[in-house]
Amino acid sequence: MLQAQACPWVLLADELEALQECTIGLGAGDQKEMLTRMLSKIAALEAAVAAAEARRRELHNQLVELKGNVSRQGSWRGRMEGLWSEHAAN
């Protein structure tokens, strides 16, 4: 079953609220350090997602190419077998 997706802005607001709750009681310097580490981690994860997506597209294109090669090989082989059977009959 498909679930309705919430607006990205609502999700970001919820995440910001959760982040603020996690940092309650920390000093301003500690909050800044934690935020810097989290932003760094987010950037690393976004880069990993982009690399994975590029690899997925590359593999998908290879798969499509191989399917086409198999289809063409089967079509060519079928015609050749038909020619050989006609030749053998004569």
pLDDT of residue 2: 42
In the structure encoding, which two tokens stand for residue 37, read together?
A: 């580490």
pTM score, whole prediction: 0.49
Q: 84 or 46, which is more confident?
A: 46
pLDDT of residue 58: 95
Is the pLDDT at 1 greater than 50? The verdict is no
Is residue 67 within 8 Å of residue 59, measured between CB atoms?
Answer: no
- Domain spans of the chain? 8-89
In the structure encoding, which two tokens stand for residue 39, read together?
A: 């932003």
Q: In the chain, what is the straight-line distance between the N-terminal and C-terminal CA atoms, in Å?
A: 61
Q: What is the per-residue pLDDT across 20-78, written as a single tens digit (0 to 9) for each?
A: 777 677 777 787 888 888 888 888 889 999 999 999 999 999 999 988 877 666 666 66
The phi and psi torsions of 75 (rounded to 5 degrees) equal -65, -45
* Residues 2-21, mean pLDDT to the nearest whole number: 62
Radius of gyration over every alpha carbon of the chain, rounded to an integer in angstroms: 28
- How does residue 87 score in pLDDT terms, banded at 50, 70 and 90? low
- Label residues 42-71 b or e (16+ Cβ within 10 Å = b): eeeeeeeeeeeeeeeeeeeeeeeeeeeeee
